[in-house]
Chain A
Amino acid sequence: MKPGFFVKEALRSIRRNPIPSFAAMASMLVTLLVLGVFIPMVQATTGAANTVRGRVLLDVYMQRDATSSDIARVRARIDNNTPHVKKVEYVSKGQAYKQESARNPEAYKLLGSNPLPDTFRVTPDDPDNIGAILNSLAPRNTAGHRQLADQSIERVRNEKDQTDKILTVTKLVKWAMVILTSLLVLASVLLVSNTIRLSLFSRRREVEVMKLVGATDWFIRWPFMIEGVALGAIGGVMAVLLLAVGKVALIDPLSNDFALIAAPKTMPFFALAALLLGASVAVSAAGSGLSLRRFLRV
């Protein structure tokens, strides 16, 4: 192996084919730019959607006169006999009264006594499973009415309208993001591999001649791959630089004013840059190596 020779061959090829080289680099640059803008956007959106979904809860109100044994029984029921429960929080009458009166002291002073029941706040493992919990604690009877599973439970309440709305909207957002992302990734891979293939296709005669002179496959392949990786890396570095400029010039000043942009769930810029660079090098190496395989069969 002669790395120096291969690198020289790759550089010669870039110099002698400036237009295809530029096209490959530019397509890599554009693709990475779009991805680099899009990935944080997807993360921010799904992060926001997940926060909203995390707020979906089910409240189980006990009868006012529930005894401590009733409470223990219901808690055991929720803990052991109810599916999809992630977390149960018990709020006693006293705690609830303290919380509510702290929030609204005058109203509760007027009231005099504590009208609040003991409550279990049930968090489902997945917001979509809230219906299953509801069905377990208050199954429907044959007539279609809900019947409570324990007589000491007064009411099971989930903010139905609100929950449904949150679930549909966030689901929609997530799916839209998944579809958009996969389309974008697919388009970028096709764009890059097509550009590489075009530039190789214009040189298939060259490959043929090399083979007839007795060059081994890897002797032909190395310069092509080095060339592809070099172009991919140049495109990647330029994309990262542009993204950094955009981040410093646009996003950072705005993030002080807008909460959405400052959404904490996006990955750090350094990781994003490393990911984009790695992807550009890997895709261009694989792209040129694989595309070349067709022309090597002489």
Chain B
Amino acid sequence: MAATEIQRKPVAQPERRQPDPNAVIEFRGVSKTYESGDVGLENATFSIARGEFVFIVGQTGSGKSTIMRLLLKEHETTGGRIVVAGRDLSEIEDKKVPYYRRNLGVVFQDFKLLPNRTVHDNVAYALQVTGRSRKEIRAKVPDILRLTGLATKLHNYPDQLSGGEQQRVSVARAFVNHPPLLLADEPTGNLDPETSIGIMQLLYRINRTGTTVLVATHDSHMVDRMRRRVIELERGRIVRDEADAMYGRRGGGRDLSTSEFGALMRGEPAPEPQRMPKDPFDEVDEAWR
């Protein structure tokens, strides 16, 4: 017994760094080669701290989606280690994957809503899979739908909604469990610019509640405006990883309100500092944590 414990001590592997206690996501030399021989990701190393808002940019086929799929444990790495919230993904058994996924909120380019369910039921499904009570569902779902601006669409089916509204449903579903980490794979890829800003505002507000948000996109315009940390990929390699130096220049280092953020995204001059309009999302923290 004592002998095995000694062997398990990390001292045996001096090159292995201790996991960063603040990191929600850690990639260490991660590679993914698909069975077809295509390289999805090559020796990627980065770490994302709790509460960060990070963009992953790059052209189609550069490896953005590979990172998302690896984080969702849809695919296995072919090299390196991924640690999410202190857990090594390769150590999660297949049977436990559903439980792991409940800690992630996921938003996709094509929304991935259940076509046979109403807006309400789509969001409720994310709670039902975790075995929440009907009472809890009845309390939480209308709340989150109100916060995402869908209060009037409760009983509509996805095909009765616009693209932007569908994506809002998808965001609501991703966030209803209050996951520590939210992944968005091209969330604005199918949306027009103005609708995209609305979705990005939504993600920004979610980020302000303390949720770590990771957005993969090829919309460099939006990324430049938002001035957040950017990880750029090219053919599976990380070619840039910078916490944008521009960040906070206009906002003076403080958090932007949602409307200031929207103005920033539209490239308008920032509204004069004024009494911030009440943003219901700002209360999410106190109410739900």
Contacts and interface: CB of A to CB of B under 8 A. Distances in A.
Interface residues on B, range: 20 to 34
Nearest to A203: B116
Interface stretch (B12-20, B85-93, B97-105, B255-263): B97-105
A214 B72 contact: no
A84 to B, nearest CB: 58
A208 B102 CA distance: 15
Contacts of A209: 112-114
B130 interface: yes
Contacts, number: 51
A4 to B, nearest CB: 10
Contact of B129 (A16, A17, A215): A215
Nearest to B99: A214
B5 interface: no
B101 A212 contact: yes
A219 B116 contact: no
Given A13-B116, A209-B113, A214 B131 contact: no
Contacts of A298: 74
B208 interface: no
A218 to B, nearest CB: 10
A109 interface: no
Contact of A219 (B74, B100, B129): B129
A293 interface: no
Contacts of A217: 98
A216 interface: yes
B203 interface: no
Nearest to B126: A213
Contact of B125 (A2, A13, A208, A213): A213
A259 B152 CA distance: 72
B125 A212 contact: no
A213 B74 contact: no
B115 A214 contact: no
Contacts of B100: 214
B101 to A, nearest CB: 4
Contacts of A211: 98, 101
Interface string A4-23: 01000000110011000000
Centre residue among B98, B112, B114, B131 by max chain A CB count within 10 A: B98
Contacts of B98: 211, 214-217, 219
Interface centre among B116, B130, B173 (most CB of A within 10 A): B116
Given A206-B114, A206-B116, A209-B113, A214 B129 contact: yes
Interface string A191-211: 000000000000001101111
Contacts of B128: 5
B185 to A, nearest CB: 11
Nearest to A13: B116
Given A212-B106, A214-B99, A214-B102, A12 B129 contact: no
Contacts of B101: 211-214
A191 to B, nearest CB: 25
Interface string B129-159: 1110000000000000000000000000000
A51 to B, nearest CB: 57
A216 B129 CA distance: 8
Contacts of B72: 212
B7 to A, nearest CB: 34
Contacts of A16: 116
A298 B96 CA distance: 14
B44 to A, nearest CB: 22
A221 to B, nearest CB: 12
B93 to A, nearest CB: 12
B138 to A, nearest CB: 14
Interface string A271-298: 0000000000000000000000000001
A298 B116 CA distance: 20
A158 to B, nearest CB: 68
Nearest to B110: A205
A217 B101 CA distance: 13
B134 to A, nearest CB: 9
B129 A2 contact: no
A206 B125 CA distance: 12
B112 A212 contact: yes
A253 B125 CA distance: 56
Contacts of B131: 2
Interface of A: 2, 5, 12-13, 16-17, 205-206, 208-217, 219, 298
23 contacts: A2-B131, A5-B128, A12-B116, A13-B116, A17-B116, A206-B114, A206-B115, A209-B114, A210-B129, A211-B98, A212-B72, A213-B129, A213-B173, A214-B100, A214-B104, A214-B129, A214-B130, A215-B98, A215-B125, A215-B129, A216-B99, A217-B98, A298-B74
Interface of B: 72, 74, 95, 98-102, 104, 106, 112-116, 125-126, 128-131, 173
Given A214-B130, A216-B99, A298-B74, 8 more contacts: A12-B116, A206-B116, A209-B112, A211-B98, A211-B101, A214-B98, A214-B99, A219-B129
Closest 10 CB pairs of A and B: A214-B102, A214-B101, A215-B129, A16-B116, A216-B98, A209-B112, A214-B98, A213-B126, A214-B129, A206-B114
